[in-house]
Amino acid sequence: MASLGRFLKILYVFSKYRLDEFLPVHLLPWYLRLAVMLAPWRLNPLPKRVPKAKRLRLALVALGPIFIKFGQLLSTRKDLLPDDIAVELAKLQDKVPPFADDLARQIIETALGAKLEQVFQSVEKSPLASASIAQVHGAILKSGEAVVIKVIRPNLLSTIENDLALMILMARLLQRYSADGRRLRPIEVVNDYRHTILGELDLMAEAANASQLKRNFKNSELLHVPEVYWDYCRPNVMVMERIYGTPIGNLHALRERKVNMQVLAERGVEIFFTQVFRDSFFHADMHPGNIFVAHNDPQAPQYIAIDCGIVGTLSEQDQDYLARNLLAFFNQDYHEVARLHVESGWVGTGTAINEFEAAIRSVCEPIFEKPLSEISFGQLLLRLFQTARRFDMQVQPQLVLLQKTLLNIEGLGRQLYPELDLWQTGKPYLENWMKQRLGPKAIWQEIRRQAPFWLKQGPGLPAMLHEGLKQIGQLPVHQQQIGLKLDALSRSLEDNSRKQKARIIGLIISATGLCSLLTPFLWSPQISFGIVAAGLLWIALRG
């Protein structure tokens, strides 16, 4: 019933602001065009003197945080939207109507368990910014530090829960009745979004994310993350360092300060790839309302990131497949793209690689005929997904946040520097990352990481095998003969386990010494590593 009530409210808002103007009626079949013409919302007159772009923004605000978030995402793609709509939706980034100052004061004092005057020298009544989930007030601590206080909007949870319940209902209907339901995996996507949006309501989690991101970019010239004041953080209130910078959406102010826009755009792409591939921990809500440019060096501009409520992570396997796919796209190696999709299980079982390769080529070749700086990676992804539908390509919920963030980065970069070449900026980074991941240094670090585990488990392996053989001993007599032979093998392994352990340690130490000795005399450390590896293999085969 709550979902039904929420659905009726959505219809009411849709009707009130006459959002039917956004429907592509001319593309609909005749019977749907007739249904739209006879729909009850047409009884409402079109609001005069209110542009449809403003009506869209007002409708999203009326519907609450989930719809505001959707509008924020759209606002970053000015290359895909008419100018009037993009400008209007940009106001959703930090100009959502605030809640009352007295209510904000009450929430802060209740959370901290003290009067504002006991904690702060001063607190600004009017918020510095107001967004879909929270609003921010400037303040000065008793110790003199300039800070901001972030306060969660009251009574948000019930609205969000109702919206999520409606989304789950629609996802179930889509999965059950749509031919694309299984491929799109809508229930998993909604559940993933549920986890994300509810996580934004916990400011302790956001503070932890901000601290992690700050550590990842400690002393970095690329990105600054404000310091968190943990003594004054609660689930619905967070206090952090006040930053001073130019909003990245204020292009006029950036140009007045003579900021190098090309470097700024390229650094944004570098920050994205660094977060995803070096750290596997990325800020996943990088719309212009959350990004500022520091007032230090206009020719080497530094980003400032706030609002770390939404972050994403990738497994090592997802990192590997993603990097290989992107590099294959950069190199126009469609066979590799198809092979990776099949190997990773992203397309239906039994998909023929050659057929999928041909389909990808038919989509990509016309696009790659353009100059790389004019290619929209977001549009390329959309075209690819449309083509992959007939190969039963499934949505990967773990990559949804990443795709959204990449679209944000590309849209933002193109606003800053329309000639931004995402491909040229990203390709060298990915190539270097792959070399580091597969090089001797990475392999040696992995051996060092796993060696303690295997050395610890080694002596226990014969005992585990012996226990298994005891269970075999309970089998019928004709099967126990095999068990006797295995038992003898177990005793042999147990006798030799310590010798083998010492031998492994000796080999590792010897390999390290040989690599360090050979490398100065050879043109490449890879060659010395290969020589030592071949020697170790020969010793192992000799037993």
pLDDT of 382 > 90? The answer is: no
Give the mean pLDDT of 379-393.
70
Catalytic residue among 94, 285, 307, 421: 285
Compute the distance between CA of residue 287 and CA of residue 74 in angstroms, rounded to an integer: 10
Long-range contacts of 422-429 (CB under 8 A, 24+ apart): 422/269, 422/375, 422/377, 423/330, 423/372, 423/375, 423/377, 424/372, 425/266, 425/269, 425/270, 426/269, 426/273, 426/326, 426/330, 427/327, 427/330, 429/270, 429/273, 429/274, 429/277
Provide the whole-model pTM: 0.67
pLDDT tens column, 291-313? 999 998 999 999 999 989 888 88
Average pLDDT, rounded, for the chain:
77
Structure confidence at residue 519 as a pLDDT band (50, 70, 90):
very low
Phi-psi region of 476 (alpha: psi -120 to 50; beta: other; left: phi over 0): beta
Compute the distance between CA of residue 14 and CA of residue 312 in angstroms, rounded to an integer: 32
The three-state secondary structure class of 306 is coil
pLDDT of 111 > 80? The answer is: yes
pLDDT, position 489: 53
pLDDT of 54 > 90? The answer is: no
148 exposure class (CB count in 10 Å sphere: 0-12, 13-18, 19+): buried
Compute the distance between CA of residue 215 and CA of residue 192 in angstroms, rounded to an integer: 26
Domain spans, the chain: 2-92, 156-197, 250-438, 440-542
pLDDT tens column, 221-242? 999 999 999 999 999 999 999 9
pLDDT tens column, 186-220? 777 677 777 777 878 899 999 999 999 999 999 99
pLDDT of 494 > 70? The answer is: no
Give me the percent of the chain exceeding a pLDDT of 70: 68
pLDDT, position 249: 85
Work out whether strand 223-224 and strand 303-305 pair parallel, antiparallel, or are unpaired: parallel
pLDDT, position 469: 65
Give the mean pLDDT of 428-437.
78
Give the mean pLDDT of 464-472.
68
Q: Which of the pair, 156 or 479, is modelled with greater confidence?
A: 156
pLDDT tens column, 237-271? 999 999 999 999 889 999 999 999 999 988 988 89
Instruction: Quote the crossing angle between the two packed helices 477-518 and 440-457, to the nearest 10°.
Output: 140
Assess whether 285 carries a catalytic annotation. Answer: yes
pLDDT, position 59: 86
Compute the distance between CA of residue 201 and CA of residue 132 in angstroms, rounded to an integer: 11
